[in-house]
Structure 1
Amino acid sequence: MRYRLVALDVDGTLFCRRHEVSPRTRAALAAARRRGMVTVIATGRMPHSALRISREIGGGPVVCCNGAAVLDEHGSYLEFREIPGDALAQSLVLGRRFGALMHCYTPEGKVLDQPLAHFLDTYRWIRAGETPLRAALAAARMWGANQTRLVRRLERWALAHDRPPVLKVMLLGDPDRLQALADEVRRQVAGVEVTSSGKGNLEINAAGVSKASGLAALGERLGIPPEAMIAFGDSDNDLAMLRYVGLGVAMGNAAAHVKAAADRVAPCCEDDGVAHVLEEVCGR
């Protein structure tokens, strides 16, 4: 079957140390679009961030917040699945108890408390590939792009009747404590999925939500079956997507269990793994 859609994780897949798409990968994606393929950003990131990256690579719909939201290339919501209120409140209480730094993704933007700790965490994440000044400026731009809103305490905000729907909760902290927290959330909280996009975070969505569920909803609208899809990813939150599509590709920098779930393994992100596979499968 001719592939008609390519789904792309961002961090560790499209973006490497410098948080940008390489020229070779841009060219490979442009060639895929010329052959009629739909390019889809499939990420745990916010809708605003996912749309910006989609436009950078030439456009297309996005599956974001780990599949909790599906948007067309103009930014209109096609689907979204919010976390039930009781499950959200329980998850935030547990996250606070375990000392996690937390924020919530909503259709209106990111909501958080502890702003200084969050800003420093964003700065450290960006700093890996930038100078200190550029990293600080990029962190500030990211806050603005994500329409970040500050509240006094997330647990209280979550109980408000007029708050927007929450698509995803991100929890950051020590990997060992986060693993214990994940076990506790799975044991105590009904109606949620728990995954991760790196060893220093946990990501909570409504039950049944994954990048695979987002691709399924999008594929139904576009008339594209999973067998006609390729997906690239590197983390736990990519596992369902890699198993769902006709060709699931794990990056060379992915963990061993992610590679084991894929149909094939590409070179590392830094070595243009996405481009390498697309050039082989779709041509230049």
Structure 2
Amino acid sequence: MVYRLLALDIDGTLLKSNHRLAKETKEAIDYAKEKGAYVTFATGRSFPSAKKVAKALKLDDAYLITHDGAFVASEVEEPIFERRMDSERVYQIVDILENYHCHIRLLHEKYAVGNKVRQRNIIARMNIGVGDPLFYPINYVDSPSNYLIDQPLTVPKIRAQFWSEKERQDAMEEISESIKTVHMTSSIEGSLDIVDSTTSKAKGLQVLGRKLGISLQEMVAIGSYENDEEMITQAGLGIAMGNSSVNIKNIADWVTRSNNQNGVGYAVREVFRKQLHPAVYK
């Protein structure tokens, strides 16, 4: 099988646990490109944050699947796909989340709105997920629901970070009972990631595939967490990282090494070294 597209999750997959790119990973990405593969990200991160990582890998013009599939673009002003939750749903979700002890982020493609929290460690973790505030402004407010009354927002994604798994599960149950048109998943431990019900990374890959003339069977998808499950099962070759949960490993076609053991670099070279002729993309 000739694979024409490589889709990579970022956190827990492309990046090491210290959030750095390994030299071997950069070299493997170049290797896949030399073999004719179109390289993209399929990430829960915001578009500006993913774009920053793409530039480090010289993927400046690539279409990126961001916000868990809700925003697909190569430039923020010209998306080829965007699926927003309307302002009424956004308010309903936030109104529910504010009853729990969690950090809330309303993730627009250009900026974020978040509630103020006292725990510094959670702020640091959330900043990693949404990008450098220098390029992705974050407006911290006392009450996002009050903010939304005066300034209604439509956003691709809402993320909440919980300290208690029981509270996270309770919030998921309440949201699912009250709002039927959302899809909930998780991208890091303790997170609740909410997008429109028609949205996922796998559907983002379908959108990009139609744009490029590439079928899902011609794609390789590498991921590590719950929000990668659909794309791993639907891609022609679904690869789980060695640091993935048992569930993700069980559904994958192959399990590579962990993100701290050059898992992406190892997998990419193993898959693409067999391809002799590069594909051509218009």
- TM-score scaled to structure 2, two decimals? 0.89
- What is the alpha-carbon distance in structure 1 between the residues aligned to residue 75 and residue 267 of structure 2? 24
1:32 aligned to 2:1?
no
**Paired residue for 2:279?**
none
Distance 1:105 1:74, change over 3 A: closer
Q: 1:171 aligns with which of 137, 157, 160?
A: 160
Question: Residues 1-20 of structure 1: matches in 2 within 5 Å?
Answer: 1-20=1-20
Once the two structures are TM-superposed, the CA of residue 223 in structure 1 deviates from its matched residue by 0.5
The letter of the residue matching 1:93 is: D
Question: Residues 33-48 of structure 1: matches in 2 within 5 Å?
Answer: 33-48=33-48
1:267 aligned to 2:238?
no
Moved more, 51-60 or 66-75: 66-75
How many residue pairs get aligned? The number is 270
Q: 2:193 aligns with which of 203, 206, 223?
A: 203
**Paired residue for 1:49?**
49
Once the two structures are TM-superposed, the CA of residue 44 in structure 1 deviates from its matched residue by 0.4
**Paired residue for 2:140?**
150
**Paired residue for 1:241?**
231
* SS of equivalent residue, structure 2 residue 134: helix
Distance 1:73 1:228, change over 3 A: farther
1:189 aligned to 2:179?
yes
| Native 8 Å contact 2:187 2:225 kept in 1 | yes
**Paired residue for 1:99?**
101
Distance 1:199 1:179, change over 3 A: farther
Q: Deviation digits for residues 200-223 of structure 1, max 9, x if unmatched?
A: 110000111100111111110110
- What is the alpha-carbon distance in structure 2 between the residues aligned to residue 263 and residue 215 of structure 1? 18
**Paired residue for 1:135?**
none
Unaligned stretches of 5+ residues in structure 2: 275-282
Unaligned stretches of 5+ residues in structure 1: 127-137
- What is the alpha-carbon distance in structure 2 between the residues aligned to residue 149 and residue 245 of structure 1? 37
Distance 1:46 1:74, change over 3 A: closer
Once the two structures are TM-superposed, the CA of residue 152 in structure 1 deviates from its matched residue by 4.3
Q: 1:64 aligns with which of 63, 66, 79?
A: 66
The letter of the residue matching 1:99 is: H
Distance 1:185 1:54, change over 3 A: same
- What is the alpha-carbon distance in structure 1 between the residues aligned to residue 229 and residue 147 of structure 2? 32
How well do the aligned residues superpose, as a CA RMSD in angstroms?
2.1
Once the two structures are TM-superposed, the CA of residue 55 in structure 1 deviates from its matched residue by 1.3
